[in-house]
Amino acid sequence: MELDLTPKLPKQVYGGDGGSYHAWCPEELPMLKEGNIGAAKLALEQHGFAVPRYSDSPKVAYVLQGSGTAGIVLPEKEEKVIAIKKGDSIALPFGVVTWWFNSEETELVILFLGETHKAHKAGQFTDFYLTGSNGIFTGIVKLEAGFKMPQPKVEDRDGFVLNCLEAPLDVDIKDGGRVVVLNTKNLPLVGQVGFGADLVQIDGHSMCSPGFSCDSALQVTYIVAGSGRVQVVGADGKRVLETHITAGSLFIVPRFFVVSKIADPEGMSWFSIVTTPDPIFTHLAGRTSVWKALSPEVLQAAFKVDPEVEESFRFKRTSDAIFFPPSN
- What is the CATH number for 270? 2.60.120.10
Beta bridge partners of 324: 207
Q: Helix (H, G, I), strand (E, B), or coil: what is residue 290? A: helix
pLDDT tens digits along 32-41: 999 999 999 9
Q: Residue 236, SS3?
A: helix
Helix (H) or strand (E) holding 82: strand 80-85
Question: Model confidence over 257-312: pLDDT tens digits?
Answer: 889 999 999 999 999 998 776 666 666 555 555 556 556 776 667 667 787 765 66
47 pLDDT band, cuts 50/70/90, is: very high
pLDDT attached to residue 136 = 47
Angle ∠(248,165,61) on CA atoms, nearest 5: 55
Q: Provide the domain limits for residue 271.
A: 171-281
- How far apart CA 258 and CA 232 sit, in angstroms, is 6
In the three-class reduction of DSSP (H, G, I as helix; E, B as strand; rest coil), residue 46 is classed as: coil
Report which listed range, 107-121, 186-200, 214-228, 278-292, is most confident: 107-121
**For position 321, what pLDDT does the model report?**
64
- Considering the domain boundaries, does residue 192 fall inside one? yes
Mean pLDDT of the region 54-71: 97
Evaluate whether 264 touches 227 at the Cβ level (below 8 Å). Answer: yes
- CA gap 284, 290 in Å, rounded: 6
Predicted pLDDT of residue 256: 86
Same domain, 53 and 151: yes
For residues 206-229, average pLDDT:
87
Dump pLDDT digits (tens) for 88-146. 999 999 999 999 999 999 999 999 999 999 999 999 999 998 876 555 456 899 999 98
In a domain, 16, yes or no: yes
Query: Are both 230 and 180 inside the same structural domain?
Result: yes
- 311, part of any domain: no
How many structural domains compose the chain? 2
CA distance 144 to 164: 32
Residues 163 and 90: beta-carbon distance below 8 Å: no
| Same structural domain, 137 and 180 | no
pLDDT of residue 50: 95
Residue 53 near residue 135, CB atoms below 8 Å: yes
